[in-house]
Amino acid sequence: EAGVTQFPSHSVIEKGQTVTLRCDPISGHDNLYWYRRVMGKEIKFLLHFVKESKQDESGMPNNRFLAERTGGTYSTLKVQPAELEDSGVYFCASSQVGVYRVGTGELFFGEGSRLTVL
Amino acid sequence: GQQVMQIPQYQHVQEGEDFTTYCNSSTTLSNIQWYKQRPGGHPVFLIQLVKSGEVKKQKRLTFQFGEAKKNSSLHITATQTTDVGTYFCAGRGYQKVTFGTGTKLQVIP
């Protein structure tokens, strides 16, 4: 079974440019989360999709960030225009809805997309 | 909003020593999860605790959920170099999972 995949693994852009990160969750997982880890600090929640609907986007820092999940499959996170403080590792995670996998509600994380804004 | 704090932020131990990280939530949790992130890697699920006062063990790791379901701890007995990484607790409310600030463990051989 394929895990959560993220693309690109690393992106280096200049301030003011646009970047789009993509996440493919595990097939059948309705819940999809975006998190960000900056400078090795906490893993900060950005938003949560249930299928194609935004369940909670309270963690999105500002309107320069736009997340979509058309059709309830893969998701994209666009940053436009990028600022220096947007640098960090963006993690995507997925989980099944309401069904515990082997008795857990674990999140399955992708490898992350490292964003560097110069 | 919900906040989850962990202490200590960093811990250096000599190989063979024990290690404990503590997690505290500002709100009551439905359950708590623990994840480990190796340097350069991604968070990997370790365990989930659901019941008040629950204690679970995985080999040298012991996880505990507080009676009030607002705090938790992870204890590692006789650390090994393979235990190096950052340990996160994650408090699960309705559908939302809020991660703690993490404890970075360094094991000195």
| pLDDT, tens only, B36-45 | 999 989 999 9
Report the distance separating Cα A6 and Cα B56, nearest Å: 32
Q: What is d(CA A48, CA B46) in angstroms, rounded to the nearest whole number?
A: 21
| B20-78 pLDDT, tens digit each | 999 999 888 888 999 999 998 999 999 999 999 999 999 999 999 999 999 999 999 99
End-to-end CA distance of chain B: 41
Which residues does chain A have within 8 Å of residue B88's beta carbon, measured at their own beta carbons? 43
pLDDT value, residue B94: 62
DSSP A83: -
Nearest to A106 among B1, B48, B101 (CB): B48
The proportion of chain A whose per-residue pLDDT surpasses 90, expressed as a percent, equals 70
Secondary structure class of A85 (helix, strand, coil)? helix
- Answer whether B24 touches A (CB < 8 Å): no
Rounded to whole angstroms, how far apart are CA atoms B43 and A55? Answer: 22
Write out the H or E segment, with its range, that includes residue B35.
strand B31-37
HEC letters along B45-108? EEEEECCCCCEEEECCEEEEECCCCCEEEEEECCCCHHHCEEEEEEEECCCCEEECCCEEEEEE
| Shortest Cα distance, chain A CAs vs residue B18, angstroms | 23
pLDDT for the residue numbered B54 = 96
**Sheet holding B61-65: strands in order across?**
B4-7, B19-25, B71-76, B61-65, B55-58
Mean pLDDT over residues B2-30, rounded?
93
The two counts, helices (H) then strands (E), for chain A are 0, 11
Pick out chain A residues at pLDDT < 70: 1, 97-104
B45 and A107: CB-CB below 8 Å? Answer: yes
Query: In this structure, which amino acid lies at residue B31?
Result: N
Strand A19-24 and strand B103-108: the pairing is: unpaired
